[in-house]
Amino acid sequence: MKIFSGSANEPLAEKIAKNMNLTISARELFVFPDGERRVQIQERVVDEDCVVVQPTATPVDENYMELFFLCDGLKRSGARSVTLVIPYLGYQRQDHVFRTGEAVSLEVVIKFLEEVGIDRVIAFDFHSVKIPELFKIPVDHLSAMPLFAEVIKKRGFLTEDTVLVSPDMGGIRRVKILSELLDGMTYAAIEKERDLITGKVEARGIEGKTARRAIIVDDMISSGSTMIKAAELLISKGTEEVYVFATHAIFSADAPELLEASKIAEVYVTDTVYIPKDKYFAKLNVLSVGEMIAREIEKITQ
């Protein structure tokens, strides 16, 4: 077994390798002056089962190209199999035609991943539970919900005065899963509306009961608007403490500053996406998915 990492999240790849008593294998990632990339596998991989770790958050397209080239390099060098660990799958939100004439970006990306010879995919908390069905190759869809459940218990939030909240109707299934891990903890959902052109988010109302403490759970935080609007609505309805949990810390634009300045008490995310130092803020807590991925790789390659 050999583990290769792209440049998108090397600390996570190191954690996975460490948990498997392996070291990261050598490759060269070179960028030409015009922005084109060259990738070279620098270890013998003939008849080896190989793993590539590369989430595809910002810079999305560059990370995808690097990933395609790494997988192609491995296949051409004789790798027996290539398992792609793509903790965050870029373009997954464009999973259907929202407005006439749009491309279904997710389907395009899946075609490329399959065409480049990947044998298996390991990913985390897809935007939609239907995404694994779109792949022709096997997909192991992991979730950060067990990690979140552990923290919620440790923090003493498993109480009558706490409610889980999905910030939109699409996320209810995820919150239900977390509720099941927490002895059937009560949950509610927010009616969210996003303007398809401007991307502006409105939290219109709450379906279900509110409580003194709310824990909002989502797949990702990008601009931060969804979480902040949901927290504001909950507080306007009498909630006193709001914690947020999201698997993928996309943190685009000034999301860290907005979250820090918001009424949210603390923000929990995972390391599926690399968070640069300048995007850290006081309220932020980062949980690692490294061990979970290592155990999954071991399970599927036994």
> Of 265, 172, 261, 270, nearest to 221 (Cα)?
270
Which of 2, 15, 192, 229 is labelled catalytic?
A: 192
Residues 183-242 that bind ligand R5P (CB under 6 A): 201, 218-226
Nearest distance from C-beta of residue 76 to ligand R5P, angstroms: 36
Nearest distance from C-beta of residue 230 to ligand R5P, angstroms: 9
Complex with ligand R5P: residue 73 or 167, whichever CB lies closer: 167
DSSP bridge partners of 76: none
Q: How far apart are CA 33 and CA 116, in angstroms?
A: 25
Nearest distance from C-beta of residue 226 to ligand R5P, angstroms: 3
Q: How far apart are CA 212 and CA 235, in angstroms?
A: 9
Nearest distance from C-beta of residue 66 to ligand R5P, angstroms: 24
Half-sphere exposure in the Cβ direction for 17 (13 Å, CA): 19
Annotate each residue in 97-136 with x if it binds ligand R5P (CB under 6 A) or - if it does not, as one string. ------------------------------x---------
Q: How far apart are CA 71 and CA 118, in angstroms?
A: 7
171 binds ligand R5P (CB under 6 A): yes
Annotate each residue in 254-273 with x if it binds ligand R5P (CB under 6 A) or - if it does not, as one string. --------------------
Complex with ligand R5P: residue 219 or 241, whichever CB lies closer: 219
Complex with ligand R5P: residue 73 or 90, whichever CB lies closer: 90
Binding segment for ligand R5P (CB under 6 A), chosen from 25-33, 105-113, 163-171, 288-296, is 163-171
Nearest distance from C-beta of residue 85 to ligand R5P, angstroms: 22
Number of residues that bind ligand R5P (CB under 6 A): 15
Is 279 a catalytic site residue? no
Rg (CA), the chain: 20
Helix (H) or strand (E) run with residue 241 in it:
strand 241-249
Burial class of residue 103 (count of CB atoms within 10 Å of its CB; 0-12, 13-18, 19+): exposed
Q: How far apart are CA 107 and CA 109, in angstroms?
A: 5
Q: How far apart are CA 171 and CA 230, in angstroms?
A: 13
Complex with ligand R5P: residue 224 or 256, whichever CB lies closer: 224
Contacts of 147 (CB under 8 A, 6+ apart): 270, 287, 289, 292
Complex with ligand R5P: residue 48 or 219, whichever CB lies closer: 219
Q: How far apart are CA 26 and CA 8, in angstroms?
A: 16
Binding site for ligand R5P (CB under 6 A): 127, 167-168, 170-171, 201, 218-226
Catalytic residues: 192
